[in-house]
């Protein structure tokens, strides 16, 4: 179990090499399954986010990062897009490298967090392997816009780890340490609203590992959770009450807060998480909750972190469980609780076998067996999700390839007309892509697909360039 007071958790030196081997295998396992993401191209969401970050001034972006409670809920990734685009231009590879670097760093954070929480390197190895890849988190591996999710995870668990290091030295955070914790929390909020649950899960941790003892508990064990709750309050109020908030203006983000909605959405994500189609419904979801809770309660003295995992799973879905917008990768952060819980059960079985077989052999066999069992499921589901997802990237990849082929030079501040194009009539992907490709926020793009255009020679002469799109090929009509 984790150490809350009086001692620090140390990893024996003799296990360091073994940990590196397990870590190397997990990294290779992940890269084998997900490395196609390094070759991924931009999507409509990507160019929209890049464009919006690009047309805002850097001082304004920095202001939004500081004013984390503003209605722009993801300014830190926007600033990152802006910096990378400034240095590398409209090329996907630098963005993809950054995303993969964050994924690997997040796996390391998960590994360290699990050791701190459970006190077990063996559970940490298994949890990291379990969380290393999931085919329905396809956006995490192929969509640059999920930099928001990745950055939120990084700051979220960096803050939690920082807090656990303090507590496991038998101390309460000082004012300076609370300030550091607050900065990490603000950076997580600046990345994605998923971070709002951090005060709740820290309070949950303290409640489980240091039971409340009157009002002193709030000042001592509960001080970090209370402080982060105060930091979070203006962010939540702005998200719920501001007239221009996303929740108010988009039907997919309309809140329906009820137990029925929570249960229904939860079972949808359970099917995704366990690679099922319709196995989980409300009844089976409740049965699973009861079973997990019963196991955690029965083993509360031996594995108190199981109770924490149960609470973590139920709390970290709150930012998205009551909206109709639904995507598998939303479970990226909550999946940590599942990974640690399942890894603990697997290690409990391995513990019995270790009585008769050397621990090193048991650890290696269990680890490799889990990887081998999961591998065919990952591969089969990856084929489905990649096929679905690549259709979102193809139009922009092909369109930019056509621009590269034409070597067209639209003048700065110029006007371009498209008689036809491969994008939907009611979106702005064409405008965003053209502006980013030519590094010109003032570029004007007209489309015959979205509004009536006078195609007489006199009107066409007013455009600096005129394009048509036929059979997947962009044709330059002028000059």
In a domain, 55, yes or no: yes
Which range has highest mean pLDDT (246-255, 356-365, 405-414)?
A: 356-365
Looking at the fold, whether 259 and 383 belong to one and the same domain comes out as yes
**Total-model pTM:** 0.92
Looking at the fold, whether 277 and 338 belong to one and the same domain comes out as yes
Q: How many domains does the chain divide into? A: 2
Looking at the fold, whether 178 and 295 belong to one and the same domain comes out as yes
pLDDT band at 4 (very low <50, low <70, confident <90, very high): very low
Q: 25 is written with which tokens?
A: 């295998």
Q: 48 is written with which tokens?
A: 């929209």
> Cα–Cα distance between 431 and 416 in angstroms, integer?
10
Give residue 255's domain range: 13-391
> Cα–Cα distance between 332 and 247 in angstroms, integer?
21
Mean of per-residue pLDDT scores for the chain: 89
Specify whether the CB–CB gap between 193 and 156 falls below 8 A.
no
In a domain, 441, yes or no: yes
Domain boundary among 391, 426, 461: 391
List the beta bridge partners of residue 469: 474
* Region class of 29: left (phi > 0), else alpha (psi between -120 and 50), else beta: alpha
pLDDT band at 5 (very low <50, low <70, confident <90, very high): very low
Looking at the fold, whether 461 and 352 belong to one and the same domain comes out as no
In a domain, 85, yes or no: yes
Looking at the fold, whether 110 and 258 belong to one and the same domain comes out as yes
In a domain, 398, yes or no: no
Domain boundary among 391, 426, 453: 391
In a domain, 86, yes or no: yes
Which residue in the block uniquely carries the two structure tokens 């709002």? 196
Q: 422 is written with which tokens?
A: 């491969």
In a domain, 455, yes or no: yes
Looking at the fold, whether 386 and 426 belong to one and the same domain comes out as no
Looking at the fold, whether 304 and 440 belong to one and the same domain comes out as no
In a domain, 7, yes or no: no
Domain boundary among 361, 391, 421: 391
Looking at the fold, whether 307 and 431 belong to one and the same domain comes out as no
In a domain, 8, yes or no: no
Looking at the fold, whether 387 and 423 belong to one and the same domain comes out as no
pLDDT band at 17 (very low <50, low <70, confident <90, very high): confident
Looking at the fold, whether 365 and 449 belong to one and the same domain comes out as no
> Cα–Cα distance between 72 and 257 in angstroms, integer?
23
What percent of the chain has a predicted confidence (pLDDT) above 70?
A: 93
Determine how β-strand 473-478 pairs with β-strand 415-418.
unpaired
Q: Give the number of other CB atoms < 10 A from CB of residue 462.
A: 10
Looking at the fold, whether 90 and 43 belong to one and the same domain comes out as yes
List the beta bridge partners of residue 417: 446, 466
Give the model confidence (pLDDT) of 340-363 as tens digits: 999 999 999 999 998 999 988 999
Looking at the fold, whether 435 and 330 belong to one and the same domain comes out as no
């Amino acid at each position: 179990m984790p150490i809350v007071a009086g001692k620090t958790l140390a990893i024996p030196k003799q296990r360091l090499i073994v940990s590196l081997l397990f870590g190397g295998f997990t990294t290779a396992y992940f890269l084998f399954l997900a490395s196609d993401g390094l070759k991924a191209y931009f999507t409509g969401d990507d160019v929209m986010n890049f464009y919006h970050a690009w047309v805002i001034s850097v001082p304004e972006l920095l202001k939004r990062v500081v004013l984390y409670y503003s209605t722009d809920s993801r300014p830190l990734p926007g600033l990152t897009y802006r910096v990378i685009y400034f240095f590398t231009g409209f090329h996907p590879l630098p963005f993809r490298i950054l995303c993969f670097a964050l994924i690997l760093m997040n796996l390391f954070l998960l590994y360290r967090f699990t050791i701190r929480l459970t006190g077990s390197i063996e559970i940490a190895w298994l949890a990291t392997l379990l969380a290393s890849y999931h085919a329905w988190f396809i956006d995490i591996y192929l969509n640059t816009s999920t930099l928001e999710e990745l950055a939120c995870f990084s700051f979220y668990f960096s803050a939690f780890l920082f807090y656990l290091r303090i507590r496991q030295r038998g101390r309460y955070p000082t004012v300076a340490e609370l300030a550091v914790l607050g900065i990490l929390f603000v950076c997580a909020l600046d990345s994605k609203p998923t971070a709002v649950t951090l005060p709740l899960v820290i309070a949950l941790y303290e409640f489980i590992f240091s039971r409340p003892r009157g009002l002193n508990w709030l000042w001592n064990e509960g001080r970090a959770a209370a402080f982060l709750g105060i930091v979070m309050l203006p962010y939540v109020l702005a998200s719920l009450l501001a007239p221009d908030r996303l929740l108010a203006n988009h039907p997919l983000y309309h809140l329906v807060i009820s137990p029925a909605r929570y249960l229904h959405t939860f079972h949808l994500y359970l099917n995704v998480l366990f690679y099922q189609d319709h196995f989980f419904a409300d009844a089976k979801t409740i049965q699973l909750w009861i079973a997990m809770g019963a196991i955690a309660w029965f083993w509360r003295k031996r594995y108190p972190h199981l109770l924490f995992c149960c609470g973590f799973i139920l709390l970290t879905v709150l930012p998205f469980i009551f909206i109709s917008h639904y995507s598998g990768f939303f479970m990226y952060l909550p999946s940590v609780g599942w990974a640690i819980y399942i890894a603990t059960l697997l290690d409990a079985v391995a513990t019995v076998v270790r009585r008769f077989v050397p621990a090193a052999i048991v650890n290696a066999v269990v680890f490799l067996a889990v990887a081998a069992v999961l591998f065919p499921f990952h591969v089969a589901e990856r084929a489905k999700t990649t096929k679905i997802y690549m259709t979102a990237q193809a139009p922009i990849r092909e369109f930019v390839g056509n621009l590269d082929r034409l070597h067209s030079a639209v003048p700065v501040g110029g006007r371009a007309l498209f008689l036809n194009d491969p994008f939907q009539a009611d979106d702005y992907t064409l405008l965003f892509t053209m502006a980013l490709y030519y590094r010109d926020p003032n570029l004007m793009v007209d489309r015959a697909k979205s509004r009536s255009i006078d195609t007489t020679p006199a009107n066409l002469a007013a455009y600096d360039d005129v394009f048509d799109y036929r059979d997947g090929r962009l044709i330059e009509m002028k000059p």
